[in-house]
Amino acid sequence: MNTANRNTIWCGIFVSELKKLGLDCVCIAPGSRSTPLAIAFAESGIRVYVHSDERSAAYFALGLARASKKPVALLCTSGTAAANFFPAIVEANYSEVPLIVLTADRPAELRESGANQTIDQLKLYGEHVRWFADVPAPEANFSKHLFRYLQSLAARAMETSQSPLPGAVHLNFPFRKPLEPIEVPTDIPAWMDNAFLDAHENSPAHLKFLRPQISPSRAQIDFLTQIITTSPRGLIVCGPRCTEGNFPTRLTELATQLGYPILADSLSGLRFGEHVNQNILGGYETFLPFAKELQPQIILRFGDIPTGTVISNYLGELDVPQIYISETNRWRDDRFRVTQSMWVDPLLVCEELLRNSNYQFDPNWLPAWRKFEDIVWDEVNAIRAEKDFEGGILPDVFDQLAANNGLFVANSLPVRHFDQFVKPAKKPMHVFANRGASGIDGTLSSALGAAAHLPGLVFVTGDLSFYHDMNGLLAIQRCGIRATIIIINNDGGGIFERLPISKFEPPFTDLFTTPHGLTFEHAAKLYGIDYTRAERASLASALSTSLTSNKSSIIEITSDAKKFESLRKELTLRVKTNRRYRN
């Protein structure tokens, strides 16, 4: 611990406690007022990632925390630097990603004084953080009480960022000068001798939390058993971010026992992995509009609201019991069709329900769903040969990746392509997307943050998402990131081709698609990244080269949004008129 002055001691205590509690990484945007914390992190052994752009730093931390499933610290100086963290904190809130946000600040006497680079940072992020604390300014010769306060502060921040609902916590640290590690002997507490410091360095964390499991009650299990037993034609819907660990396996076992299909969102953790069997379906976004006879008696729901619009409409139209089961009490039903909501560990619910072997089983129910599912994938495989079928890019990429590779998918069209056109598979894959607030901002930096944990990750993005965060490319060289970036360039907002406004010109082109006419080889050159311009036919070769390289690369594929939208509608028609469907 650096004991030069009150600031360095104060920050050393706090940071060393974070390390004892398991913090591995911090993303730092350089600045003056944050110097004491930056020095403490640099001397702690915690992995430091430095970013010149605060917004990119925040999204990088978000991606790293998402991939590692552990809190990541985020540090900036005072003023608008802290405001640039806001979009990523909003995403962390809604996608439940743990962040420890540390903002440096002026001391109380300089606030509201006109002091340079000073804004009101108190509760800056509002209700988008799980907890806010305005930390006292460091004192000279502070007491052991304040020493324990700093230790507990670190523990509370780490725990609150993870439980009961993961998200960001915000600690605002004011500092008086000197900010640098300049010796001020009178600042050192009298009780802080070498023996004390040695004992502190070798001691465990001051405070640890023991988290409970939210076990289902007997009444909850009895209720579920009774309603499932009297509903042989049930349906399970798994949205993004379902419980991990053994949950996918146990839920699939339960679905098999019940004969229930599982509509598995591509971000749910259920669509890919060794557990995948005939019960796992992924083609529903294409076939549900034509499957009117598939009327379940009950729906069990897990995870967040599904990515696709078709399934959300389907769930909104069904007037049957819908039971939502989640380990958090956050509301996730935008159609207000949930009739029972259970705040309980989904894995424990599955394990309890599997103990019962007396459920009714309708042998015709799952095959009726499988008929539609198989038709969809037959038609998708057929239309993938069309070079203008942009929806085939993500299936092509997925097929080429090795098991347990990382894949980050940007918002707007890519995540919808992934959800609609990538078939369930036994190949496990680490799949990520910023689907909390679902913005296109910061996705590049989030992907690079995830690649810091999963080297070799592939990021598939549209041109506007990439353009929006090009500053983030600096992290590739500065932070030693190895990733492949695939840009699907349809020259603007191709997703708007799906909206009724697409029929109204010229406002549609001028105000919605807003073509930019850019390609991105110059961005690659600026940041020293390999670049390839590819067609659908040459994507496999370009991706193979990139995956075996020790450098990051950009692969750019041009696409025609209007032609793709026409082919997507053709696919829908093919599924609707398929003979197997009509029979």
581 has pLDDT over 60: no
pLDDT tens for each residue of 56-90: 999 999 999 999 999 999 999 999 999 999 999 99
pLDDT tens for each residue of 303-338: 999 999 999 999 999 999 999 999 988 999 999 999
The DSSP annotation for 436-487 comes to: SS--STTHHHHHHHHHHHSTTEEEEEEHHHHHHTGGGGHHHHHTT--EEEEE
CB 226 within 8 A of CB 359: no
Strand partners, 553: 484, 530
> Quick one: pLDDT band at residue 582, thresholds 50, 70, 90?
low
Measured CA to CA in angstroms, residue 513 lies from 554, 559, 561 at distances of 23, 14, 10
Q: Where are the alpha helices (DSSP H) in 470-557?
A: 474-478, 507-508, 521-526, 536-547
Residue type, 445: S
Q: Which helix (H) or strand (E) holds 95?
A: helix 86-95
Alpha carbon dihedral 7, 9, 12, 16, in 10-degree steps, equals -150
pLDDT tens for each residue of 443-492: 999 999 999 999 999 999 999 999 999 999 999 999 999 999 999 999 88
Give the model's pLDDT for residue 543. 97
pLDDT tens for each residue of 497-530: 777 888 888 888 888 888 889 999 999 999 999 9
3-state secondary structure (DSSP) of residue 362? coil
Average pLDDT across the chain, whole number: 94
Give the model's pLDDT for residue 580. 67
Residue type, 261: P
CATH architecture of 218-365: 3-Layer(aba) Sandwich (3.40)
Mean pLDDT of 399-411: 97
Give the model's pLDDT for residue 115. 83
Q: Residue ranges per domain, the chain?
A: 6-202, 218-365, 384-577
Q: Which helix (H) or strand (E) holds 67?
A: helix 54-68
Instruction: State the residue for tokens 């009714």.
Output: 360
pTM of the predicted structure, to 2 decimals: 0.95
Give the model's pLDDT for residue 385. 85
389 has pLDDT over 90: yes
Mean pLDDT of 259-273: 98
218 has pLDDT over 80: yes
371 has pLDDT over 90: yes
Give the model's pLDDT for residue 212. 85
Pairwise CA distance, residues 137 & 10, whole Å: 9
Closest CA to 444 of 400, 401, 414: 414
Give the model's pLDDT for residue 217. 95
The DSSP annotation for 209-248 comes to: --PPP-PPPHHHHHHHHHHHHT-SSEEEEE-SS---TTHH
Q: Which residues contact 317 (CB under 8 A, 6 or more apart)?
A: none
> Quick one: pLDDT band at residue 98, thresholds 50, 70, 90?
very high
pLDDT tens for each residue of 111-163: 888 888 888 899 999 999 999 999 999 999 999 999 999 999 999 999 999 99
429 has pLDDT over 90: yes
pLDDT cut 90: percent of the chain above it: 85
Strand ranges (DSSP E) for 327-386?
340-343
396 has pLDDT over 70: yes
What CATH number matches the domain at 6-202, 3.40.50.300, 3.40.50.970, 1.10.150.130, 1.10.10.10?
A: 3.40.50.970
Q: Which helix (H) or strand (E) holds 134?
A: strand 131-134
Instruction: Please name the fold of domain 384-577.
Output: Rossmann fold (3.40.50)
Q: Characterize the bridge pairing of strands 99-105 and 168-174.
A: parallel
> Quick one: pLDDT band at residue 40, thresholds 50, 70, 90?
very high
Q: How many CB atoms lie within 10 A of CB 218?
A: 8
CB 45 within 8 A of CB 19: yes
